[in-house]
Amino acid sequence: MLLTLLFCACSVDVSISTVEIGYDSNGDGVLSPGERGAVRVFVRASGMGDPPAALRYQLSSPSEFVDIDVGGSEGSCWKSGGERKWCCARSGTGTWFSLAPTTPPGSELPFLIRVEDTYGSGSWSLPFTLQVHAAASEPVISDVQVVQDENGDGVLNPGEETQLLVWVTNAGTVRLLELEYTLSTTHDEVTVTAEETGTYGDLEPGETGTPVTGVCIGWGCPLPRIRVSEDIALPATPTFTLRLVDELGVSWVRTFKVQVLAEP
């Protein structure tokens, strides 16, 4: 009994106090599939024994969806908020990792941080989880204009080659990162002849954008170009498909129609 009491009186334990997201790609403070993230793990020493003089950590994850940065998985913990509290992070931001685009939203990803006393008094393996949220970004087509058509009336006519200016709005609540598009149509008498792929860049929540090329935005830039056959049967309203994918690997399929009218 005396030995047990002595042991308990001298022992020190290290446990996780809080876990913070230090960085995420779209900046909404939560982790979504495809994002890069950084995490700060705050630990504290409890018990009556002297706290460790210095701590080191090593972060790992058994999850197939988590890729911890090579070389960034270990480092020193620094004192934070008193003698018995530390922040275990590679820098101010945290220790970096990537989530696979296939990570299921809603899942709880397991992590393990191993903390050890630099002077050898002990080590502690501390599990924690991080929740994955569905990305709350939502690109929608807000307008389509026929521009630079041959007769300049802004209407698709048989035999014309024109550009399409497709406006996309981020109707979600978080930033869209590097939104790329692919435009196609299955209509027999209409073909996409140029710029069938391109980018909208980043779109903030509520922002409406057009394809960007370097510093060029919208009308006058290289835009998707389409050709309508002279033989198209009228009336015709070909359907176009705009496939969108962002930097996180999340994709959307949007469709729109453009009417083809006889030249007046």
Q: Is residue 151 involved in binding Ca ion (CB under 5 A)?
A: yes
Q: Is residue 24 involved in binding Ca ion (CB under 5 A)?
A: yes
Near Ca ion by CB under 5 A: residue from 28, 116, 117, 195: 28
Range in contact with Ca ion (rule: CB under 5 A) among 90-98, 100-108, 142-150, 217-225:
142-150
Q: Check if the beta carbon of residue 146 is closer than 8 Å to that of residue 155.
A: yes
Q: Is residue 246 involved in binding Ca ion (CB under 5 A)?
A: no
Q: Is residue 137 involved in binding Ca ion (CB under 5 A)?
A: no
Residue 69 or 74: the one with the smaller Cβ distance to Ca ion is 69
Q: Is residue 157 involved in binding Ca ion (CB under 5 A)?
A: yes
- 218 by Cβ neighbours in 10 Å (0-12 / 13-18 / 19+) ranks as middle
- Tell me the closest approach of the beta carbon of residue 126 to Ca ion, in angstroms: 24
- Tell me the closest approach of the beta carbon of residue 186 to Ca ion, in angstroms: 22
List Cβ neighbours of 7 (8 Å cut-off, separation of 6 or more): none
Tokens 């026929």 sit at which residue? 146
Q: Check if the beta carbon of residue 97 is closer than 8 Å to that of residue 68.
A: yes
Residue 117 or 149: the one with the smaller Cβ distance to Ca ion is 149
Range in contact with Ca ion (rule: CB under 5 A) among 28-36, 47-55, 93-101, 211-219:
28-36
Residue 51 or 224: the one with the smaller Cβ distance to Ca ion is 224
Amino acid letter for position 16: I
Residue 131 or 151: the one with the smaller Cβ distance to Ca ion is 151
Amino acid letter for position 176: L
Range in contact with Ca ion (rule: CB under 5 A) among 13-21, 30-38, 47-55, 86-94:
30-38
Task: Tell me 51's DSSP state.
Answer: P
Range in contact with Ca ion (rule: CB under 5 A) among 20-28, 68-76, 82-90, 252-260:
20-28
Range in contact with Ca ion (rule: CB under 5 A) among 17-25, 84-92, 93-101, 183-191:
17-25
Give dist(CA 200, CA 197) in Å, integer.
10
Tokens 């890069």 sit at which residue? 36
Supply the DSSP string of 158-201, one letter for each residue. Answer: TT-EEEEEEEEEE-SSS-EEEEEEEEEE--TTEEEEE--EEEEE
Residue closest to 222 by CA, chosen among 245, 247, 197: 197
Residue closest to 177 by CA, chosen among 195, 193, 199: 199
- Tell me the closest approach of the beta carbon of residue 228 to Ca ion, in angstroms: 9
- Tell me the closest approach of the beta carbon of residue 55 to Ca ion, in angstroms: 29
Q: Check if the beta carbon of residue 139 is closer than 8 Å to that of residue 252.
A: yes
Q: Is residue 261 involved in binding Ca ion (CB under 5 A)?
A: no
Binding residues for Ca ion, rule: CB under 5 A, are: 24, 26, 28, 32, 149, 151, 153, 155, 157
